[in-house]
Amino acid sequence: MDSQIVLLLGQDGLTSGAIYALLALSIVLVFSVTRVLLVPQGEFVTFGAMAMAGMQAGHSMTLAWLLLGLAGARAAGALRARRRWPGPGDWIMLGYAVALWALLRVLPLQALPMVVQALLTLALVVPMGPLLYDIAFKPIASAHSLVLLIVSIALHGVLVGLSLLMFGAEGARSEPFSDGGLEIGPVVFKSQALWVIAASTLLIGALYVFFDRTLHGKALRATSVNRLGAELMGISPTFAGQLSFGLAAFIGALSGILIAPLTTLYFDSGFLISLKGFVGAVTGGLLSYPIAALGATSVGLVESFSTFWASDYKEVIVFTLILPFLLWRSLTTRHSEEDA
Partner 1 sequence: MVLKNVFPALIAAAGALCFAGGALAQIKVGVVSSASGPIALVGIPQKNTVALLPKEVAGQKIEYFSLDDASDPTASVSAVKKLINEDKVDALIGPSGSPNAMGVIQFAAEAGVPMFAPVGTAAVVLPMTEQKKWVFKTTQNDDLIANALVDHMKASGIKSVSLIGTADPYGENWAKVMTELLAAANIKLLTSETFQRRDTSVTAQALKTLAARPEAVLIAAPGSSAVLPQTTLFDQGYKGRFYQTHGAALDDFLKLGGKKVEGTILAASGMLVLGDMPASNPIKAIATKYVADYEKLYGSKPATFGANVYDAGLLLQAAVPAALKKGKPGTPEFRAALREAIEHTKELAATQGVYNMTAADHSGFDKRGRELITVKNGQWAALK
Query: Is the separation of the CB atoms in 36 and 147 below 8 Å?
Result: no
Q: Does 69 bind partner 1 (CB under 8 A)?
A: no
Question: Which of 152, 119, 159, 130 shows the shortest CA–CA distance to 253?
Answer: 119
Please choose, out of 11-19, 114-122, 148-156, 320-328, the segment that lies near partner 1 by the rule CB under 8 A: 11-19
Task: Tell which one of 108, 213, 311, 339 touches partner 1 (CB under 8 A).
Answer: 311
Pick one of 14, 16, 125, 223: the residue that binds partner 1 (CB under 8 A).
16
From candidates 152, 200, 274, 307, binder to partner 1 by CB under 8 A: 307
Residue 207 beta carbon to partner 1: minimum distance, rounded to whole angstroms: 23
User: Under the criterion CB under 8 A, does residue 166 sit at the interface with partner 1?
Assistant: yes
**215-220 contacts: CB < 8 A, separation 24 or more?**
216/243, 219/243, 220/29, 220/33, 220/244
Give the C-alpha separation, 91 to 95, whole Å: 6
Residues whose CB falls within 8 Å of the CB of residue 94, separated by 6 or more in sequence, listed in order: 71, 72, 75, 86
Choose which of 145, 191, 263, 288 interacts with partner 1 (CB under 8 A): 263
Binding-residue pattern over the window 92 to 131 for partner 1, x denoting contact by CB under 8 A: ----------------------------------------
For partner 1, the binding residues in 41-60 under the rule CB under 8 A are 59-60
Secondary structure of residue 265 in the 3-state scheme = strand
- 172: three-class secondary structure by DSSP: strand
**Does residue number 154 form part of the binding site for partner 1 (CB under 8 A)?**
no
Residue 5 within binding range of partner 1, rule CB under 8 A? yes
Of residues 216, 218, 221, 314, which one binds partner 1 by CB under 8 A? 314
Which of 120, 150, 136 lies closest to 253 in space, CA to CA? Answer: 120
Candidate list 179, 183, 312, 337; residue touching partner 1; CB under 8 A:
312
Query: Which region, judged by CB under 8 A, interacts with partner 1, from 88-96, 103-111, 285-293, 312-320?
Result: 312-320
248 to 5, 130, 160, 180, 242: CA distances (angstroms): 34, 9, 17, 31, 10
Is residue 44 within 8 Å of residue 77, measured between CB atoms?
no
Nearer to partner 1, 86 or 168 (CB): 168
How is 201-217 classified by DSSP, letter by letter?
HHHHHHHHHHHHHSHHH
State which residue, 291 or 318, has the beta carbon closest to partner 1.
318
On whether the CB atoms of residues 257 and 52 are closer than 8 A, the answer is yes
Distance CA 290, CA 286 (A): 11
CB of 172 to partner 1, least distance (A): 8
Sites of contact with partner 1 (CB under 8 A): 5, 8-9, 12, 15-16, 59-60, 62, 161, 164-173, 190, 259, 262-269, 272-273, 304-305, 307-308, 311-312, 314-315
